[in-house]
Amino acid sequence: MRIDIVTIFPDMFRALDWGVLGKAREAGRVDIRVHNLRCWTHDRHRTTDDSPYGGGPGLVMKVEPLVEAVEAVTEGRLPDGERAVILLSPRGAPLRQDRVERLAKLKQLVLVSGRYEDVDERFLGATGAEEISIGDYVLSGGELPSMVVVDAVVRLLPGAISDPLSAQEDSFSRGLLDCPHYTRPVEFRGMSVPEVRLSGNHAAIRRWRKEKALRATRTRRPELLASADLDEEEREILNELEGLAKSSATC
């Protein structure tokens, strides 16, 4: 997979040389290229922004360098559905795991890191870019959100992480939050690892993991349960949890 990132602060993306991302790049699982937007400006000051028409606060990123940058990094033809241009924006649709999974299947992903008040609206029409938001808050620019997208996507690529089952069992991978995890020591300041995790009974451990994941999701993010991909055992456990909740509410 190839990922192109357009930004006015390319040095921020040195963080992509570490951890899972760094190893995936070294192994050739992903080709990440960071492009300085100023390379597509046409004035001696390398200007990427200007005042908004009609007044208003802040500055707006200019359409010409943005469009030219995207056109330059998408020169080669790819079949429909194998490339996406993404503008990181608080106006965008929320980034969710199902979208990450779709992005991970692409041949090329182009991430445009906005800055200032906004990006000239014509950029979207000229490039067909879609907008993605990583949360309901505002950051100084799209660089950190771009890194979030890269990290979320790359870890799903074949061979990017040593244990592929780890990605499959992460929070949100099937619409549920993950269960609690423990490692050595067994005892810490009066807190113990649950006995079932030490039992060696794999069937009991599996059921415990499912129950804890369902409890966490039901308590913290109940809206996820409506679309969660539950197996028969999980549906049975959820029904039990719902029954316990109703009985306690009537006491």
Least confident span in 105-109, 114-118, 142-146: 114-118
* Token reading at 106: 């692409």
All residues at 6 or more sequence positions from 194 whose CB lies less than 8 Å from its CB, including other chains: 182, 208
Report, as an integer, the average pLDDT of 74-85. 90
**CATH for 187-250?**
1.10.1270.20
Q: How confident is the model at residue 171 (pLDDT cuts 50, 70, 90)?
A: low
All residues at 6 or more sequence positions from 165 whose CB lies less than 8 Å from its CB, including other chains: none
Q: Give the pLDDT confidence score for residue 185 in this predicted structure.
A: 96
Q: What is the pLDDT of residues 198-249, one digit of tens each?
A: 999 999 999 999 999 999 999 999 999 999 999 999 999 999 999 988 877 7
Kindly state the greatest CA–CA separation across the chain: 75
Distance between CA atoms of residues 127 and 84, nearest Å? 10
- pLDDT reading at 169 higher than 70: no
- pLDDT reading at 250 higher than 80: no
Domain map of the chain by residue range?
2-154, 187-250
- pLDDT reading at 35 higher than 90: yes
Could you tell me which residue, 163 or 169, shows the higher pLDDT? 163
* Token reading at 62: 């200019």
* Token reading at 140: 């100084």
pTM above 0.85, yes or no: yes
Beta pairing partners, 18: none
* Token reading at 205: 């451990």
Cis peptide before 185 (omega within 30 of 0): yes
Mean pLDDT, the chain, as a whole number?
Answer: 94
* Catalytic residue list: 90, 117, 155, 170
Q: Give the pLDDT confidence score for residue 168 in this predicted structure.
A: 66
Distance between CA atoms of residues 234 and 186, nearest Å? 28
What is the chain's Cα-based Rg? 23
- Spatial CA neighbour of 229 closest among 185, 179, 169: 169
- pLDDT reading at 17 higher than 80: yes
Q: Give the pLDDT confidence score for residue 177 in this predicted structure.
A: 94
- What three-state secondary structure class fits 2? strand
- pLDDT reading at 173 higher than 70: yes
- pLDDT reading at 167 higher than 90: no
Q: Give the pLDDT confidence score for residue 50 in this predicted structure.
A: 97
Q: Give the pLDDT confidence score for residue 251 in this predicted structure.
A: 62
What's the topology of domain 2-154? Alpha/beta knot (3.40.1280)
Q: Residue 108, exposed/middle/buried by CB under 10 A (0-12, 13-18, 19+)?
A: middle
Q: Give the pLDDT confidence score for residue 145 in this predicted structure.
A: 98
Distance between CA atoms of residues 5 and 32, nearest Å? 8
Segment (H or E) for 111 = strand 108-113
- pLDDT reading at 64 higher than 70: yes
**Residue 90 backbone phi and psi in degrees, to 5:** -65, -15
